[in-house]
Every structure is written in structure tokens, then in C-alpha cells.
Structure 1
Amino acid sequence: MELSIQLPKNFKEQTVRELLEQEWLVPRKVRHFLRTRKNVAINGEPALFHFPVKSGDVITLLFEPEDYPTPAILLGNKSIIDVLFEDEHLIILNKPIGMKTHPNQPDEKDTLLNHLAAYLAPKNQVPYVVHRLDKETSGAILFAKNPFVLPILGRLLESKKIYRRYQAVVSGNLVESLTIRKKIGRDRHDRRKRVIDERRGDVAVTHIEVESYLKKTNQTTVYCVLETGRTHQIRVHLASIGHPIFGDPLYHPNSIGRLMLHAYELHLTHPFTGEIITAIAEPSLW
């Protein structure tokens, strides 16, 4: 695998070593091989790790197959893929409702990851999961297209630099916007579910913005912005304040129809180009 990346305009001058270790999070073992094999170039010229790099420079990295072993993914149906944004490093898809993000068993091939693998196969690329959406949730979801960018996107996610905005329809009249800060843990009685667990749970923060109240159906449309990414976070948080999401089979089992939760918007700053990427997943819930 060979990657050529041009450093953006606002890039702070540093050494090749600092770039690989601190900015691009290249694993120590891979950095060692890049150095010993002399597989780094600046503007087409071989480079040592103490060489400086600056804005506008093109950095080329040559990886051997053993540096990043290719995962085995069964190929699905590429026609299912709905692309919202794509370049050589990452891809944002519009996930259909009722589809798992990735397989849990080696023989599964009807998940979004399988279908994306089929879409990328003609380009000799393999997808990598950056984050996931619940099976019942539709909308924008981000994947890496190579193992090199995967930890960089993971760091952006952990540092809250990937913005995710969801639409939801909840039961009852949610009068005002609020932020829910309640720890979430596993339900000891039902392995499928999560519960509020302030003692043993993980920190979870969800910002809720009220859009409108539908008096006829006694429902409220809301936007939800995640500050953390716990399993079922939005679903558990809204249910915990007495406003479960309509159609939720786990946390509002008496309602019918699809889970009314949709990852409507995702945006981030591209880690290599500095471009602001905004993906809107249509159609929306309302």
C-alpha cells in the first residue's frame, strides 16, 4: 500500500518523526519498518526521520503487506450502498434501517460492512469500522478506507471532533431542550439492553434540542447531539426521562412501527486536507 498526502496550508512545521508519531498515530512497529526500509519520501525524494516537513509538502509512505494485514470480510451486495461522501481515505454512507453495522459472526454477510466491502473490492480497498449505528437506526455513518487513517479518525471521535446530529420522535410533550448526563451500563437481566447505572456505568452525555410538539399524536420531534458514544445512548437517555423514542422495541415496546431515530447529520474536518466535510442523510424523519 502506497499513500501520498499533501500537508494542508495551516500545517505546523515539524519533523517526519513527529508527523508519523503524533499527528498520524502510526504504530511504533510500523514506524520502525518505514525508517529501516527507507519507505518515506518528501516531494518524491527519500527522507530520514529528522527531516523537516512543512505546509504544501507531499509525504509518500510505502507499506508492506505485513505492516497492515488485510481483514477477511465476506462480500455482500454493493448495490445497497448509498454514498454521502467519499475520497481515497474515508467514506460516509446512508445506512438503511434494519441493517447491522458489522457482522458479529464470521459467516455473516448481510451487514453494512459486508456490502461496503463489495463496493470497495473493485478498488482493492477494504473498509474499517470507525463507529456504529444500532440495527434499527438509519442515517449517516463513517468508515475508514484504509488501516492508516483508522486510528486518526478514532482519535477525532474520542476528542469530540466528529459532530453527529440525530433526529428522533419521542412520546409525550417534551417541553424544553436539555442535556442528559447519566451513566449507562449493561442490564444484568437482559443482555440486549442498557440501563442507567450511576455507580458502575460509563459516562454518557446527550444534548436534546426540542423541534416541535405534535399535539394530535402526543409526540415531540427532537434533535440529539452526542458528546459520548455509548451503546443505545440516545434511546436509554430519552427513556430515562419518560420520553422513549417511538417505535423502540426495547425501551418503548408498546409502540409500533420503525424506530424513529435517524443519524441526520455528520461532519468533521478531514485529517489530511483540512476540508470541512458535511454529510446530510436524506430523507429525514420529518
Structure 2
Amino acid sequence: MELSIQLPKNFKEQTVRELLEQEWLVPRKVRHFLRTRKNVSINGSSALFHFPVKNGDIVTLKFESEDYPTPTILLGNTANIDVLFEDEQLIILNKPIGMKTHPNQPDENDTLLNHLAAYLAPKKQIPYVVHRLDKETSGAILFAKNPFVLPILGRLLESKQIYRRYQAVISGNLANSLTIRKKIGRDRHDRRKRVIDEQRGDLAITHVEVDSYVKKVNLTTLYCILETGRTHQIRVHLASIGHPIIGDPLYHPKPTGRLMLHAYELHLTHPFTGEVIAAIAEPSLW
């Protein structure tokens, strides 16, 4: 695998070593191989680790097969792929409702990851999961197209530099916008579920923006912005304040229809180009 990346205009001059270690999060073992094999070049010329790099430079990295072992993913059906954004490093898809993000067993071939693997196969690229959506949730979801960019996107997610805005429809009248800060842990009685657990759970923060109240059917439409990414976070948080999501098979006492939760927007600044990417997953819930 060979990657060539042009450093953006706002790039701060630094050494090759600093770029690989601090900016691009290349694992120590892989950095060692890049250095000893002399597999780094700047603007077409071989470069040592103490060489400086600046904005506009084209940095090329050559990896051997043992640097990043290739995972085995069964190929699905490319007809299930709806691309919202794509370049050589990453891809954002519009996930359909009722489809798992990734397989849990090696023989599964009907998840979004399987279908994306089939889509990327002619390009000799492999998809990697950056984050996931519940099976019942539709909308925008981000994948890496090579193992090199995966930890970089993971860091953006952890440092809250990837903006995710969800649409939801809940039972009852939620009069005001609010922020829910409650710890979430596993339900000891039902392995499928999560619960509010302030003692042993992980901190979860959800910002809730009320859109409108539909009095006739006693429903509220709203937007949720994730500050953390816990399993079932939005679903558990809204249920915990007495407003479960319509259609939620786990947290609504009388679920009917589809789970009314949709990952409507996903924004990030591209880690290599500096481009601001704004993906909108249509159709929306309303």
C-alpha cells in the first residue's frame, strides 16, 4: 500500500518524525519499518525522519503487507450502498434502517460493512469501522478506507471534532431544550439493553434541541447532538427523562413502527486536506 498526501495550506512546519508520530498517529512498529526501509519520500525524493515538511509538500509513505494485515470481510451487495461523501481516505454512507453496521460473526455477509467491502473491492480498498449506528437507526455513518487513516479519524471522534446531529421523534411534550448528563452502563438483566448507572456507568452527554410539538398525536420532534458516543446513548437518555423514542423496541413501553431515530448530519474537517465536509442523510424523518 502506498499513500501520497499533500499537506494543507495551514500546515505547521515540522519534522517527518513529528508528522508521523504526533499528527498521523502511525504506530511505533510501523514508524520503525518506514525509517529502516527508507519508505518515506517528500516531493518524490527519499526523506529521513529529521527532514522538515511544510505546507504544500507531498508526503508519500510505502507500507508492506506485514505492516497492516488485511482483515477478511465477506463481500455483500453494492446495491445497498448510498454514498454521501467519498475520497481516497474516507467514505460517508447513508445507512438504511434495519441493517447492522458490521458483522458479529465471521460468516455474516449482510451488514453495511460487507456491502461496503464489495463496493470498494474493485478499487482494492478495505473498509474500517470508525463508529457504529444501531441496527434500527438510519443515516450518516463514517468509515475509513485504509488502516492508516483509521486511528486519525478515531482521534477526531474522541476529541469531539466530528459533529453528529440526529433527528428523533419522542412520546409526549418536551417543552424545552436541554442537555442530558447521565452515566450509562450495561443492564445486568438484559444483555441487549443499557441503563442509567451513575455508580458504574460511563459518562454520556446528549444535547437535545426541541423542534416542534405535535399536539394531535402527543409527539415531539427534536434534534440530538452527541458529545459522547455510548451504546444506545440517545435512546437511553430520552427514555430516562420519560420521553422514549417512538418505535424503540427496547426502551419504549409500546413500540409501534420503525425506530424514529436518524443520523441526519455528520460534519468533520478532513485530517489531510483541511476541507470541511458536511454530509446530510436524506430523506429526513420530517
Q: In the alignment, is the contact (CA less than 8 A) between 1:245 and 1:261 conserved in 2?
A: yes
Equivalent residue number for residue 30 of structure 1: 30
How far, CA to CA, are the matches of 1:271 and 1:37 in structure 2?
A: 26
Aligned residue number for residue 19 of structure 2: 19
> Stretches of 4+ moved more than 2 A in 1?
none
- Measure, in 1, the Cα distance between the counterparts of 2:48 and 2:114: 39
**TM-score, structure 1 as length reference:** 1.00
Q: Does structure 1 residue 67 correspond to structure 2 residue 67?
A: yes
Distance across 2 between alignment mates of 1:156 and 1:217: 40
- How many Å apart are 1:255 and its aligned residue? 2.4
Matched residue SS, 1:222: strand
Task: State the distance in 1 between where 2:223 and 2:168 align.
Answer: 6
Q: Does structure 2 retain, via aligned residues, the 8 Å contact 1:180–1:206?
A: yes
Answering whether residue 96 of structure 2 is matched by residue 100 of structure 1, we say: no
CA distance in 2, matches of 1:89, 1:12: 21
Find the counterpart in structure 1 of residue 115 from structure 2: 115
Cα deviation 1:38-67 (Å, max 9, x = unaligned): 000000000000000000000000000110
Whole-angstrom CA distance in 2 between matches of 1:166 and 1:213: 17
Cα separation, 1, equivalents of 2:3 and 2:65: 13
Specify the alignment match of 1:204 in structure 2.
Answer: 204
Letter of the aligned partner of 2:148 in structure 1?
F
How far off is 1:69 after superposition?
0.6
Report the TM-score when normalising by structure 2: 1.00
Structure 2 counterpart of 1:264: 264
Partner-residue secondary structure (3-state), 1:183 = strand
How far the C-alpha of 1:79 sits from its partner, in A, is: 1.1
Query: How many pairs are equivalent?
Result: 286
- Correspondence list, 1:49-68, <5 A: 49-68=49-68
Unaligned runs of 5+ in 1: none
Counterpart for residue 151 of structure 1: 151
Matched, 1:83 2:83: yes
Identity of paired residues, percent?
87
1:87-236 counterparts in 2 under 5 A?
A: 87-236=87-236
Aligned amino acid, residue 51 of structure 1:
F
Cα offset for 1:212? 0.1
Q: Deviations over 1:160-195 (max 9, x none)?
A: 000000000000000000000000000000000000
Secondary structure at the counterpart of residue 204 of structure 1: strand
How far is 1:253 from its partner? 3.7
